[in-house]
Structure 1
Amino acid sequence: MSSFSPTQENYHDLAQALAKFTSLTQIKTLCYGFNGILLKNNLVFLNDSAIQSNLANEDLTSFALFPISWGNQLWGLMLCDANSVSQKRLELARTYLTDVLHQTFPQADVPIQVWEPLKPNQIKQLNYFNSLMFPHNGPSESLATDDLATTMINGQPISSDDAYQSIKLAVAYIRQHVQQSLSLHEVAEAAYLSPSYLSRLFKKYLHVSFVEYVNNQKIALAQERLALTFIPINQISTQLGFAQTSYFTKIFKRKTHLTPSEFRQHNHAIQKVYTIPRDLDWQATDSVYDVTRAYFKHRGITYRSDTDDGTTYVTQIGDLTDSAGTRGWVFTVDGQQLLQSVDEVRVQDKSVVQWVYMNYAH
């Protein structure tokens, strides 16, 4: 058993070495220690929420996971982005990273080793074994309590209050891959959850089913492309991961009450579209106006609003403003243009908001 305990200075040195490795090889590399430390982008993260946020923002499905042993103990993981990286380069990376650890922790009195990366089926087996050890996490468990826990991420259990981070990981994956066919099973794998568990997390946190959430995102993108481009409808369908144009048309009409061709005909005068996908930080009491302001403020986009007879209007977004009642901004929610004021529509069970600048004369 090792008597040496790494210092904060050691961790900063390791973070610096990994940042240098990333710069030299163009292989993005992170390190996660099972003592609750994440090294990323030349920084050391000790706070649980900061660690979860930084991991949730990564597409971890593209990373190779190298276990790290410290003496006879499993100490942590090296995570290397393996996208377009050959097995030979990964093996060289493993050797180099082992040397980096030795150089960073020269006082260590036990062997430190970076092992071969876990295979996808091994990660799945770890998740499966976790479900056997903690059966309350399995498909049969109700989400009636707040104890949603313990699922697995990269083979490591995460605590009950981290279910939020798991659904955040799933939502991030959907956003990154929305232009392809997406199944519940695929997204569950990406978030290291069982499909049934992820399905219930969608209901709990987003108040819609997985399928509804994904289709709302796809239809919002379809509306944008139908209005702003001349791309043929069958190509838009393919671009968004629909196997058949007829099915795309069916979903589109169910959401918007128009066929794609009718939508294009009615909305050819649209000049600009802002699409705001559901953020997990949206509160049940938030209105479309609340989430719109937060979205534009975060991105530094100018917006203005006005109130007339108790009704709130957005009069400017970016450089485009209302013009004498002939042009202006309207909003849609999940593909539908609503009649209520923007500050009256609640977003609790909504998936996507769009702001559209159009010529009213058409």
Structure 2
Amino acid sequence: MARLYMVVQVGGIVTLDNSIGNEMSHELGHNYGLGHYPGGFIGTLHRPANQINSTWGWDSDKNLFLPNFNVVKSGTQACYNGQCLDPFNEYRFGNDSMGGGAPHVPSVNAFTLYTPYTAKIIQSFLEGKAVFSETSSTGFVKWDVESQSMREWENKVPDKTYGSLSPSTSDEASVASKLAKYDGVKVHFYNGNWTDNIHIPAASSDNIGKVLTVGHSAGWGTTLHINGGTVSVKSGFAKNYRSDGSQWVEGESLSLTKTRKPIRHGVPVTTLLGYFDPEKQLTSYIYPALHGSYGMVYPDDTELASSSNHCHLAVTTSEGVKNYALANHRFTPSRMNQFHINIETATQPSKAEIICGGNPVVSRALESPRQEPKVYILPSAE
């Protein structure tokens, strides 16, 4: 039997053997954070109109109500763990999709009706997620409870990363090694975690733009060796220094996120997936290109990624080489990093290469789609 993989914009991926029937409703429920038999007897069974957790469904395409009971008379009770509901005029009340349910009128609507209990959980899940919007100045909108409307929302993603420095490894070589891997280095002195000196390497083109954050709450002072001189560091000290290539200049801490907005909505995309090791100890690799009919594309990071101090993914297209910044350090110390990047298929991407420190790590030739991807648009209220 063919297996269907469906990407869900607000949550993740649903894996199905059948795209109709309870399987579809059930697996979507997991995507929305539901487990099996949510709420037990209270949430799993549909109920009569004089009880909580009772409602019919509404098919807005066909303008039809969907009953919350089976349409074939059986006279049987609906039960969960020994607790039962009597039928309505011999029609058995239905089960929720997450609790053994099935479509009540499959000839009209092929999906299972959620109980109000689970529908409320799904509604809260959806309200907490942003969705793509081509008309939004930020590229996204999200439900705002206060105004009871969809409002523009900024998509802020991790951009910079601090590395922590132990006072016991505060010699110049150790600090330089940390600065080479991270966008900034933090060190904080406190009682039991203290040293009398910390040595900062000279500002240079190797560390330009990097930030050093120093904090102190220990009972003993420390001497900070920086810019060819010294600074006395005592309890209450908290400063940030940014390298301008020639000096470490006092300033603000790192901004760890940046706002990302798609530049293309709903276009055929070539998706690049793979793993890379910025420490070059494990074998990095790029998977064969995947092709989709409907995706979002973000701008590349040409200025940042082209720096010899960074890792980046270089993609050869008909519009030239596009560079996408990758992390210079492992997010998990014992594992490689993952990457997942969409390229607009119309730009004919032909080669992907990971480069770290100016040196190629791995590359792959990219194949074009073997057939034109099809786009299927589901009805929407918008």
User: Normalization by structure 1: what TM-score?
Assistant: 0.21
Structure with the largest fraction of helix: 1
Higher RCO, Cα 8 Å, sep 6+: 1
Structure with the largest fraction of strand: 2
User: Normalization by structure 2: what TM-score?
Assistant: 0.20
